[in-house]
Amino acid sequence: MVILENDFIKATISSKGAEIHYLINKANGTEYMWQGNPDVWAFHAPNLFPVVGGLKNNTLNAKGQAYTLNRHGFARNVTFRRIESAPLQAIFEYRYDEETLKVYPYKFEFQVIYHLERGRLRVSYKVINMDEGDIYFSVGAHPAFNVPLTAGESFEDYYLEFEKEEALHTHWSNSEGLLSGETSEVVLAQNLLPLKRDLFAHDALIFKNIQSRAVTLRSTKSDKHVRVSFPYFAFLGIWTKADAPFICIEPWLGVTDTAEGHADISEKEGIQTLEKGHVFETDYCIEVG
């Protein structure tokens, strides 16, 4: 485990998946991250690479061949190498190997970089193309935050505050976790979305055309909050499990397959293209108060 700490927050990050395990506000002593109860959902804040969401039949078509790749890719389950660690910053790296080439036929280096900025944790993703041609990938975040954050409160005491007042439509998933083609409106009260369990009747809320670049989790009964800002991400997922005491706010560059699937990874919705020798970088931030 790597510990980053300043006067405001303390973050603990595991080399497995380069995943945040703890994020504590030192002023109020609150733990904001879901603690990964394996009986409910074993992750805390997985990093998603080289795909976001599921593939039809778990099949990735690339370079004229079919590969078996599980939901959200492999990054969340592998052990990263720590290549830099300081009180305010840590860099984790995972490079292609024989095992990744069996499921994803591209040569890459994937870095996850954490940096503390007062009461905010910046999470940066860097993809380096080490292949002989273009590589194709998606990247995304899946942080889960405790709800409630204060004893005596309930899930329904919380709401999401979107940066903008906007019309939102969620894309439904079928029983296989693929996009069915059906959508429904998610009605905001101005720019607020009260949390209710039935919001997730069709699995995650998946917003493809969101205009807001930040979403804040707030309570109607206390001042504790979490703000996730994602200026460079085209998609946003909001998810929880039935009766689970957490909510995930997930910036994505990529999205799960439709029920029809796709002929080649280069045609997959939201896919990123990176030329030989080039570097891709993006980031999002978690601010706790």
> Which comes out higher in pLDDT, residue 201 or 70?
70
What is residue 264's predicted lDDT score, i.e. its pLDDT?
93
Q: What is the DSSP letter of 99?
A: H
What is residue 33's predicted lDDT score, i.e. its pLDDT?
98
Integer angstrom CA distances of residue 137 from 62, 193, 209, 284: 11, 31, 20, 18
The answer to pTM > 0.75 is: yes
Amino acid occupying residue 197: R
Q: Are 119 and 88 in contact (CB under 8 A)?
A: no
pLDDT-based confidence at residue 59 (cuts at 50, 70, 90) = very high
Mean residue pLDDT across the chain: 96
Q: Are 123 and 286 in contact (CB under 8 A)?
A: yes
Taking the alpha carbons at both ends of the chain, their separation in whole angstroms is 24
pLDDT digits (tens, 9 = 90+) for 178-189: 998 899 999 899
| 52 pLDDT higher than 90 | yes
What is residue 89's predicted lDDT score, i.e. its pLDDT?
97
What's the full length of the chain, in residues?
Answer: 289
pLDDT digits (tens, 9 = 90+) for 82-115: 998 899 999 999 999 999 999 999 999 999 999 9
What is residue 260's predicted lDDT score, i.e. its pLDDT?
85
Amino acid occupying residue 85: S
Give the C-alpha separation, 183 to 120, whole Å. 34
DSSP string, 177-237: SSEEEEEEEE--BTTEEE--GGGGTTSSEEESS---SEEEEEESS-S-EEEEE-TT-SEEE
Q: Provide the b/e sequence for 205-221 (b: ≥16 CB within 10 Å).
A: bbbbebebbbbbbbbee
Give the C-alpha separation, 221 to 242, whole Å. 23
Give the C-alpha separation, 236 to 228, whole Å. 11
Give the C-alpha separation, 207 to 173, whole Å. 12
* Chain center to CA of 83: 22
pLDDT-based confidence at residue 176 (cuts at 50, 70, 90) = confident
Instruction: Supply 89's token pair.
Output: 């910053």
What is residue 6's predicted lDDT score, i.e. its pLDDT?
97
Only one residue has tokens 């994505």, namely 252
Q: Are 215 and 228 in contact (CB under 8 A)?
A: yes
What is residue 27's predicted lDDT score, i.e. its pLDDT?
93
pLDDT digits (tens, 9 = 90+) for 188-238: 999 999 999 999 988 999 999 999 999 999 999 999 999 999 999 999 999
Give the C-alpha separation, 44 to 35, whole Å. 6
Instruction: Supply 85's token pair.
Output: 């660690």
pLDDT over 90, % of the chain: 92
Question: Residue 76: what are its φ and ψ, rounded to 5°?
Answer: -70, -15
Give the C-alpha separation, 258 to 271, whole Å. 14
What is residue 97's predicted lDDT score, i.e. its pLDDT?
97
Angle at 246 (CA atoms; ends 12, 240), nearest 5 degrees: 125
